[in-house]
Amino acid sequence: MIRHPARLWKVSGEKISCGVCARRCMIAKGGRGFCGVRENTDGVLYANSYGLLTAANLDPIEKKPLYHFLPGTTTFSVSGFGCNFTCKHCQNYTLSQTRSIPAEYVPPEAVVQEAILLGAKSISFTYNEPTISFEYVYDTAKLAKEQGLTSAFITNGYLSKEALLELAPFLGAIRIDLKGFTDEFYKTVCGARLKPVLDTILLSKELGLHLELVTLVIPGYNDSVDEIDAMLDWVMTNLGPAVPHHFTAFMPMCHMQDVPRTPFSTLDRIYRQAKAHGLYYPYIGNMPHADGSKTICPECGAVLIDRDGFAEHTRGVEDGHCTTCGRKIEGVFSHEDL
């Protein structure tokens, strides 16, 4: 266990108030926050998972998924363990829903050096929820930026405003799970609330971070026409049409083994709903779809990038512009755009 001083906390009576995530846990002496890795030791808050990595892999950036952030490049993905959600369908539950797991201490300097040696263009904090490793993410992303690398924060969106404001200067992109669009879904399936996630999405947009959304579509839980319409209405009203939104297929996992896979018909209907609402860049993930993996120019309809899995086959965008009509395409297509 690494005892690293935590950030963003204050003493509140005989407890410590942790300010890293939206739960704002009140932690008694000797106790830990909901995440299990932030501990009050004699009135001082420590981040006990600092630098303890459970995975470090070179991935296509599209795997995050990020389709408009340095497409075609690789990212160095790192993860810890634990989470501030309790999602019944978690695809990485062996990492997220544990409070103790074999892990290797890797200092920020080593992560940045390895990313550079591997030729990655970014570092992604991913697999488990990176918010609970706030101090490590902050130190690593700051050092990465000093060394010419950018960073991507792959998150459930349940971090506090203060945490995002501190991290934002060192992030190139934030990819947020918008898991559903009712508070009931968040409460019963994720053990959380919807509003803090929406607040993080709005703040990310306000801060000018490159933002992409992901919604895992679970049959019978968050896939109704009305709920998707409400979600798309909110996105169009608050974010506009240009934020990429990935709708991905659910596969039976964790505590939802009895729920069927998402049928193609549902994802196809949602893709058409998104287009009808005016979204420029809806995507379909975890399932083949004729148009759902393509980046299409909103102006002329040319296929800018066609993907087979995480591999690109068409490149109709140059210097961030459509090569057919010249329209500027929203996203980060080179480091000069950061």
Name the binding residues for [4Fe-4S] cluster: 83, 87, 90
The pairing of beta strand 122-125 with beta strand 74-79: parallel
Summarize the annotated binding site as residue ranges. 83, 87, 90
**Is residue 71 within 8 Å of residue 62, measured between CB atoms?**
yes
**Is residue 197 within 8 Å of residue 250, measured between CB atoms?**
no
Angle at 331 between CA 197 and CA 322, to 5 degrees: 145
What is the DSSP track for 60-93?
EGGGTT-SSBSTT-EEEEEE-S--S---TT-TTH
CA-derived radius of gyration, the chain: 20
* Residue 162: its H or E element: helix 161-167
Q: How far is CA 21 from the centre of its chain?
A: 15
